[in-house]
Every structure is written in C-alpha cells, then in structure tokens.
Chain A
Amino acid sequence: MKGLHVIGVSHAFGNNRVLDNVSMMIPAGELVCLLGPSGSGKTTLMRIAAGLEPLQQGQIIIDDELVADPTMQVPPEDRGIGLMFQDYALFPHLSILDNVTFGILNQPEEQARRRAMEMLDQVNMSQHASKYPHMLSGGQQQRVALARALAPEPKLLLLDEPFSGLDTNLRGQVREDTLKVLKQSGVATVMVTHDPEEAMFMADRIKILGDNGKILQTGRPHEIYYHPQHEFVAKLFGLMNRFEGIVESGAVEIPIGRVPAGDLDDGRKVEVLVRPEGVILETDGKTGAPVDVISTHLLGHDNLVRVRLKGDAENGHDSKELYVRIHHTFEPELSTSITAGVDSEYAFIFPLDKAASPAVSGSVPRPRAAE
C-alpha cells in the first residue's frame, strides 16, 4: 500500500508515556488530522514517523517499506518524507528559491531550480524567489515552507501545527490555499493540530489522540462531531451541558427532555452530554423545561446564551445552568416564558458505571481552555 503505516507504536519520555500502542494507516491522497491536546504526543508521533525521534516500540512502514522498528532505523534523510514545522524553520541564510531547491537532490541544478520555481508558482510565491525569509510575512513564510516540503515530491507529508503561527483572520485563507495545493499534489498527508475546527476543515479523516497516548476515535469529521464514541472526543469541541441519569425503557430522562439511549440496557447509570446547539429554546413556552435567561453574548455568527433551569424541587433536580447556542436573533426580553428542550442529535450518552470512561466532577461543564 502506498502511504504511511504505523503499527503499535509506544513511546515514553522517562516515565511519561506519551504514545500507547498507536496504529494507523494513511493511504496516498488522503489527509489525516491528528487532533489532541498539547502534550498528547501527536508531535512525537510525527517526529518518530520522520525519523527525528528514535522509535522505541512498534513499526513504521512507508510505501510498503519498513523504515523503523526497535532494531533498526532508516535515517530521516533516506525516508523521502516532507516535514513542515510549526515555526517553518526556513533557512535564514538562503534565499527563498535556495530554500525550496535545498531538498531537490539528484537532479541537475537547472532542473532543480525549475522544479523549485514551479512549486513557488503553485503557492503563489514565485515573485518573492530572490528574497530572504526574514523579509516575508508569516503567511508568506508558511507558503514557502509548504513549497519546500513538497518540492522533492515526498512519499508522505507531515505538517506540525501548520497554521498556529498565523493570526486568525489570515488563517482561513491560508488553510484553503494549503488544502488546494495538498489535494493537487495527491500526497499522503498527516497534519497535527490542537484546533478541532481546523481539523474539521482540512481532514478527510480525523484521529483523536487522548491524554493517555491512545487513539480514542477515528472517523470523518461528521462522525467525530455527531457520533463521538468517547466523552473526551465529545468535549473537544468546547462547552458541553452535562446531565446524569438512568436508562429507562430505552431512553434517558433529563430535565430538558428525553434522549434515546441506543442499545444501552435499562437501569444503567449514564451521563448525557448535550452540545450548546442541542438545547432548543422556545419563546412560546409550551414544551420543555421553563428557564430563566442569565446572559446572552453575540459572538458574530451565533449567540451564546446562558440560562438557568427554574428550580423543580419535586423532580429532585437542582436549579442548573445551561449553555445554549442559537443561530438566529434572540431577544429574550420580548418574551416572558422561555422553555428549553433537547435535540437528541446533539446529545451523547456515555455509561458511568464502566471503569473505562470516568465521570467528570461538577455539574456544569467548563469550557475547555483553548491552547
């Protein structure tokens, strides 16, 4: 198979285990994002694949050829991989053209230069070929780094947080351009990121690497978002509303409605995580649980609303705060009775009585700090 094949890789720095039996397969032409919090070993996995970090356990296979196992390692220069660093690592003493030509070996100089210019053309940087890295903006440096990594026609391209050095309003455009270039080249690509939105945008498939160094879930962006198999995966995308309950006749009753429990047996203790967009506010107040609006924040493309359930002592529920995301204009002051319901497409149930997924303390989920 053309592409990258990682088999059972484990890695530890001293006692700190950052990768635990990680396996994955990335065929040519596919773009896979490795998504996880910082310190989860995703950069280490890339460095191992590139040969910059000695492999401790497992195997790395590139284009059907074993390049590393615990007894031997092909040095990075002989692996035919392209690597793009977070800080781009352009050589400051070489011009842009020389930077891109640097990796084109075994070709006559004239031809190498032509190839480099072609690459610069593709990323729209050919007019800067004679400049030096420090004369370029961050976005331009990023494009040069991409051209340099792709110029030797690598079998595999590894991108380490390729957009984290750019400011937010530039990022969107650069992402789109990068994606276009990558799709054109058809190279197998692994991209490491901690930004879920970026992963969703870029990836054909996303792999979630948890704190414990294990891959928790692999899937298309849609699957990751709508069918998280692990509470860690569900919580990656930010704020969650968390409830606890017990499965009764195939569903879980939570204050704002019923959520079907799938194939979970009756009587199991579960937690229910509801995305903010899965809480539906109604202003006519006919269905759902009555709530008070605490605050609304207009975030541009949507509103983030905080509401509190009205105390319902007979049901044994405390008054609880919820986060709600609403895409249309929301003016709570126009209405006197507001109720909250649940859209079960955005609600995920995880059993609590299973040791593998430990419960999280605190009734209101806290926003995950974006790193």
Chain B
Amino acid sequence: MARKQSWSWLNLWTIGTVLIAAAVATPICAVIYIGLTPSDDIWAHLASTVLPLYISTTLLLMLGVGAGTLIIGVGTAWLVSTCRFPGKRMFEWALLLPIAMPAYVIAYVYTDLLEYAGPIQVLLRDAFGWTTKREYWFPEIRSLGGAISMMTLVLYPYVYLLSRAAFLEQSVCVLEASRVLGRGPWRSFFSVALPLARPAIVIGVSLALMETLNDFGTVDFFAVSTFTLGIYDVWLNMNNVAGAAQLAGLLLFFVAFLVFAERFARRKQRFHHTTSKYKALPGYDLKGWPRRLAVIGCALPILLGFAIPSIVLGGYAVTFFDAAANMDVLHHAANSVMLSSLTAFLAVAIGVFMAYGLRLRNEWIVKVMTRFASFGYAVPGSVLAVGVLISLGGLDNGIDGFMRDRYGISTGLLFSGTIAAVTFGYLVRFLALSFGSVEASLTKITPNMDGAARSLGHGPFSTLRRVHIPLIRGSALTAAVLVFVDCMKELPMTVILRPFNFHTLATYVHQFASDEQLGEASLAALAIVGFGIMPVIVLSLAITRSRPGQEEAEQPS
C-alpha cells in the first residue's frame, strides 16, 4: 500500500543545506561583524601608521603578479595551442607543473640560492674577485619584487590553464574567417582569438590574484607588508583580535572586487560561441628565430617554476638525509594526509548533499544558501582563520558558560585549537571546489533519469545512491583530489588553527625554512610538491579530453 505523505518531508534537504551554508558562512560573517563593531581605537592607530603601507604593498603585489601571470600564462597558452614547434606536446602538460609548487617553497629555495651566502653570489664573487657586498649590485630576493616573481612563477598556470582551454574551444572557423578576411596570424590573434578568450583570461587572473591574497608563507618570509601579514602582525604580535578582524574586513573588499570580476567574466562567457564546427587546430609552423624563442619562452617558466626548485630540494634531501628526522617528516606527512583526506571526503559528501538538494528542491532559499556557502574559496586563509577562531571561540565560551551555569562544570575550549577546527577551516575554504564540480556534473544528467528511477519505485536517497553517484563518480573523485592537494599545501590557516605541537608538512616546512634550515625541511617540501603533481595529471588529462572533435568521446551520454 502506498504511503501517503506530503511533499514537505523532503524539506530535510532544505534544512540540511541551510544549516551547512550557515555553518560555512559563520566565520566570514563573524569577521565582518567584529570588523564593524567599534572597539578600542586601534583603527585610528592603524590608519595613521601601517594601513597605507599595507594597501599600497598589496596593490603593487597584485599588480605585479597580475601582469606577470597574464603575460606568461596567455603567451605560453597561445604558443602551445596554435603554433607548432619542437617539444610542443611536452610543454602542453609540463607548463602546468609549477602549480604543484607552493609559493612559500619556491621562495625558500630561491632565497637559499640567491642570498649573499648562496651559491650564485659566491660563484660571482669568486669569478670576479669581489670580496664585499659593496663592490657589486645584486637583486635582493627578499623584497616586493622577489615576492612578485615567486608568486608569478607558481601562479601563472591558472591563467595558462583557462586561456588554453579557451583557445582550444574556439572554433577554428572563426579564426579561418579572420584569415580569409585578410588578417595575418598575429592580427588574428589580437583581434579575434584574444578578445574571444578574454572572459577565461579574466577568470584565470582573478584566481591567481585570490591565491596571491591568500599567500602567507612568502610574504612572511620576505617580510613584505601586505594585508595578510598585517592581520597576523596585529593579531599575534599586538594581540588585538578586533584590529585583525577590521583589517580582514578591509581585505574582503579586495576579494569582493575579484569575485565580482570573475563572476562577471563567467556570465559573459556563456554567450560566446556562434558556431559549433570544430576541426583540429591548424598550427602555425614556426621556423628559425621565432621557433627558438618559442621553445625558450615555454621552457623558462617550467625551469624556473618547477625544475630548478625540485632539483635543489632533491639535492638537499640527499645531502641532509637523516633517518631520525625523516621519522618526524613521516609523522607530519601522516598528519597532513589524515587531515586532507578527512576534508576531501567531507567536502565531497557535503558537496553531493547540497548539489542534490538543489536538484530536488530548486527553491530560492536553497539556491541563495548554496551560493553563499561557496563564497569561501575567494576568502584569504588569514581572514578565514580569524573568522574560524572568533566563531569557535564564541561557541566554546557559550557551551562553557551554559555547562557552568547548569552543572557547575567547566568544559573549557572544546573546539578551538583542535583538528576539528582545522578541518572546519579547510571545509569553509574548499567546499566551493567540490560543490562546484559535483553540481556541474549533476546538471549533465537529464532530469528524466530522476523521473525514471522514482517511477520505478526508488526514493530520493536510493536514486542518489544507485543512479547519480555512479554517474558522477569521476568528477567527484577529481574534486576529492583537488581538495586533498589544496589541503596538503594549505599554510595560512593551518599555522593559526592547528593544535599545539601538531605539525603538517606545510607548517613543518614553514617553520624550518623560515629559520633558514631549508636542508632539514627539503624532504617535507618535496613531499608537498609530489602530492601537488596529482591534480596536474588530472587537469591535463581533462583538458586534452575537453576539446570537441579532438578525440572520440568514450563516455556514453
């Protein structure tokens, strides 16, 4: 006999989505709330002393990284997608490699190489017979310029990835039309290919800039006074949470601008392609100097951004090999893997729950809340760390107060400074990643599948388990890998939120390297890079498969 039920029982999904979104949004709201609450006039003090410096440094950093990633990313993407030269096939994926290198790791390596006592300067002094620093000029790596270079070298793959996808998606007919209408390859690039790819490029640059704002390790090590560094300074050294929150709130404005730019570009991207005829891209055959320049132009970012740092780290790892220390590294690696897998699993599970909830109940509240929950990816780790600490501290105090009033027991800090706090922080930041890819892949499944399963007697849960999950497994796994690796690399939140005496690979590397003991940290740093290569493989597989007409589609639709 049929159960008679009203549809409102399905509200489980609505309630769940709203609760998750509220939890995820709490840290950001806490920052904004505390930031707007007037407190002991730290603000005036900040504004008159360090604030102008923070703002100008941050802006210069963004400008530099933006320009650098734009030139390297778009340039290499265009070369490998439209020209033919030796090594093109290899460059296609190798150009993604630097994304595996956290900015702070590459910063430690280059400082080690380029500082006064480093091998390069020693070599120069020996060669020219200089004895003191005054006799020659050498660029100072620990500077704003140095930070810009380091971040550019590891962040350009975001721009490369997105603009390459855009170039590949462009119908060759559009380019051929331009050629037939009398424009040469160069003018076709600037008047057709580039404008068509512009939304994708904007997205790539905004992602790179979000990472720039998120960076803590590099600016800390180079002592470049950005907002992020300011937040940590005000908070940890001046012990002023309200001031830190106020700075964090201000930083959110920068982020809001980037998010707006990105969303705007994404919206424009939808209306782009007028023709769906695809052919293999023709490829301009490069000869002579252009050919050599193309090879050098593509090889240099890979060498500087990946090969040299990896070799240096590898060398150190061999030289400083120490079994006892390695046991430590293994222990920290276990911590990292545990935290990252836990977060990856939770992020995908919650992502599936929310995306399916959105599919079942396409109501405004669910829509708004899921959008709200995916805002975290843009918020710098420093801001989120402040937010998580404030909100968990509030929760702990609330529970403690309640228990003391009621039962006379002090529970103390239950969540603050625990692994749960770190995981929560990671989730807030990376949930958007998993939710986004699960949602994208769910929308590819026709709603008739749901209808078919439901009419065949399967409820929403059974339908999810037996139809949707098998169908989205691929992209759910990809999402899990991406979240996992991002957690492995994560530094700014882990540094603050980790339990006392608890290290991950990232915090361990940071601690030793900033004490100029890169040798001891090299194995751990290499491990992070090794994990970082996983998404590179996933991404490069995905991108070659994505071009229509390039390959036979192997997936049945």
Measured CB to CB, the residues of A under 8 A from B are 47, 50-52, 54, 65-67, 71-83, 85-87, 89-93, 102-103, 105, 132-134, 148-149, 152
Bound complex: CA A66 to CA B2 (Å) = 10
B339 to chain A, nearest CB (A): 32
- The answer to whether A74 and B5 have CB atoms under 8 Å apart is yes
Contact with A along B37-52 (1 / 0, CB 8 A): 0000000000000000
Contact with A along B472-492 (1 / 0, CB 8 A): 000000000000000000000
Measured CB to CB, the residues of B under 8 A from A are 2-7, 446, 448-459, 462, 466-467, 470-471, 556-557
- The answer to whether A83 and B2 have CB atoms under 8 Å apart is no
- The answer to whether B459 and A75 have CB atoms under 8 Å apart is yes
Which residues of the partner chain A approach B449 to less than 8 Å between Cβ atoms? 89, 91
Bound complex: CA A4 to CA B547 (Å) = 48
The 5 closest A-B pairs by CB, nearest first: A134-B556, A103-B456, A89-B448, A83-B455, A76-B454
- Can you add 8 more A-B contacts, CB < 8 Å, to A75-B454, A103-B458, A134-B557? A65-B2, A67-B2, A73-B5, A80-B2, A85-B448, A91-B453, A102-B453, A105-B458
- The answer to whether A79 and B448 have CB atoms under 8 Å apart is no
- The answer to whether A85 and B457 have CB atoms under 8 Å apart is no
Quick one: closest A residue to B6, CB to CB? A72
* 12 pairs, CB–CB < 8 Å, chain A vs chain B: A47-B451, A51-B455, A73-B6, A74-B4, A77-B458, A79-B455, A82-B456, A85-B448, A87-B446, A102-B456, A105-B458, A133-B556
- The answer to whether A92 and B557 have CB atoms under 8 Å apart is yes
Bound complex: CA A47 to CA B454 (Å) = 12
Partner of A85, one of B452, B466, B471: B452
Which residues of the partner chain B approach A50 to less than 8 Å between Cβ atoms? 451, 454-455
Which residues of the partner chain B approach A91 to less than 8 Å between Cβ atoms? 449, 452-453, 467, 471
Partner of A76, one of B446, B451, B467: B451
Partner of A82, one of B6, B455, B459: B455
- The answer to whether A93 and B457 have CB atoms under 8 Å apart is no
B470 to chain A, nearest CB (A): 5
Which residues of the partner chain B approach A134 to less than 8 Å between Cβ atoms? 556-557
- The answer to whether B3 and A78 have CB atoms under 8 Å apart is yes
A296 to chain B, nearest CB (A): 40
Quick one: closest A residue to B450, CB to CB? A52
Which residues of the partner chain B approach A54 to less than 8 Å between Cβ atoms? 7
Partner of A72, one of B4, B450, B462: B4
- The answer to whether B457 and A77 have CB atoms under 8 Å apart is yes
Bound complex: CA A80 to CA B556 (Å) = 29
With A72-B6, A74-B2 as contacts: A152 and B451 at CB distance below 8 Å:
no
Which residues of the partner chain A approach B455 to less than 8 Å between Cβ atoms? 50-52, 76-77, 79, 81-83, 103, 149
- The answer to whether B451 and A89 have CB atoms under 8 Å apart is yes
Bound complex: CA A72 to CA B10 (Å) = 13
Bound complex: CA A82 to CA B452 (Å) = 8
Partner of B456, one of A74, A86, A148: A148
Bound complex: CA A13 to CA B447 (Å) = 18
Which residues of the partner chain B approach A81 to less than 8 Å between Cβ atoms? 455
- The answer to whether A105 and B451 have CB atoms under 8 Å apart is no
Which residues of the partner chain A approach B2 to less than 8 Å between Cβ atoms? 65, 67, 74, 78-80
- The answer to whether B452 and A89 have CB atoms under 8 Å apart is yes
Partner of B454, one of A67, A77, A92: A77
- The answer to whether B454 and A132 have CB atoms under 8 Å apart is no
B5 to chain A, nearest CB (A): 6
Which residues of the partner chain A approach B462 to less than 8 Å between Cβ atoms? 77
Which residues of the partner chain B approach A102 to less than 8 Å between Cβ atoms? 453, 456, 458, 466
- The answer to whether A85 and B454 have CB atoms under 8 Å apart is no
Bound complex: CA A355 to CA B471 (Å) = 54
Quick one: closest A residue to B556, CB to CB? A134
Bound complex: CA A102 to CA B453 (Å) = 8
Which residues of the partner chain B approach A72 to less than 8 Å between Cβ atoms? 4-6
Quick one: closest B residue to A101, CB to CB? B456
Which residues of the partner chain A approach B456 to less than 8 Å between Cβ atoms? 77, 82, 102-103, 148-149, 152
A161 to chain B, nearest CB (A): 12
**Residue among A54, A76, A83 with the highest chain B CB neighbour number at 10 A:** A76
Quick one: closest A residue to B467, CB to CB? A91
- The answer to whether A93 and B446 have CB atoms under 8 Å apart is no
B452 to chain A, nearest CB (A): 4
- The answer to whether B3 and A87 have CB atoms under 8 Å apart is no
Quick one: closest A residue to B1, CB to CB? A65
Which residues of the partner chain A approach B454 to less than 8 Å between Cβ atoms? 50-52, 75-77
**Residue among B3, B5, B457 with the highest chain A CB neighbour number at 10 A:** B457
Which residues of the partner chain B approach A47 to less than 8 Å between Cβ atoms? 451
Bound complex: CA A126 to CA B71 (Å) = 60
Bound complex: CA A87 to CA B2 (Å) = 28
Which residues of the partner chain A approach B467 to less than 8 Å between Cβ atoms? 91
Bound complex: CA A312 to CA B5 (Å) = 70
Which residues of the partner chain A approach B470 to less than 8 Å between Cβ atoms? 93
With A91-B467, A93-B470, A102-B456 as contacts: A52 and B451 at CB distance below 8 Å:
yes
B199 to chain A, nearest CB (A): 31
**Residue among A77, A81, A149 with the highest chain B CB neighbour number at 10 A:** A77
